[in-house]
Amino acid sequence: MAWWQLDSVLKEQSELYTYYRAQLPVACRHCGEPLRQGPPSQPTVLYCPWGHYQYPRDWDPDLDNGM
């Protein structure tokens, strides 16, 4: 394997890491239930209907980034 191939692999991994850290969660990390959008007064809030998880309150990019 050449050095430029290793460099390419590292750059691709960096791009994927950045992409997945920027993704919003779609399911509760505790029970897997799809997150629902919050009330009209808080449209940016996503929450688990069972009360296990709320985005952005409980969001941790190291746990919720899909990697």
| The model's pTM | 0.66
Is residue 39 over pLDDT 70? yes
24's CB contacts (< 8 A; 6+ apart) are: 46, 55
Q: Are 26 and 4 in contact (CB under 8 A)?
A: no
Q: CA separation (Å) from 21 to 11, 45, 67?
A: 16, 18, 8
Work out the pLDDT band at 30, boundaries 50, 70, 90.
confident
> Average pLDDT, stretch 20-33?
86
